[in-house]
Amino acid sequence: MAEEKKEDNVIYIGKKPAMGYVLAALTQFNNNGAKEVIIKARGKLTAKAITVAEVLRNRYLPEAVVKDVKIGTEELTGEDGKVSRVSAIEITILKKEA
């Protein structure tokens, strides 16, 4: 991606429980000084991305707002060379100044 931007503030949603990603995002905001965190997920994990964003905002970071939600389609190439298309989501969370 763009070289001028560090990618530390991107949280990729995987198979772990949602709370692990909530805490990862919270760490970016509170310990690493991030102003924005981008939560990314593909396929069925897109549902978990929404939960992570909502739990973060509602329980841990009331001063955070959803700045942007993008949806899209990504192509994945499997080990057999077969290309499959999956839905994707990118949720940008902005921490407002207190």
Residues that bind a copy of itself (CB under 8 A): 43-47, 50-51, 53-54, 58, 66, 69-73, 87-89, 91
26 or 66: CB nearest a copy of itself: 66
Token readout for 71 is 């949806």
50 or 94: CB nearest a copy of itself: 50
Residue type, 11: I
6 or 54: CB nearest a copy of itself: 54
Residue type, 63: E
Residue type, 38: I
**Who contacts 94 (Cβ-Cβ below 8 Å, separation ≥6)?**
35, 36, 64, 65, 66, 67
As measured in angstroms, the least distance from the Cβ of 93 to a copy of itself is: 10
As measured in angstroms, the least distance from the Cβ of 79 to a copy of itself is: 23
As measured in angstroms, the least distance from the Cβ of 56 to a copy of itself is: 11
Whole-number Å distance between alpha carbons of 90 and 41: 7
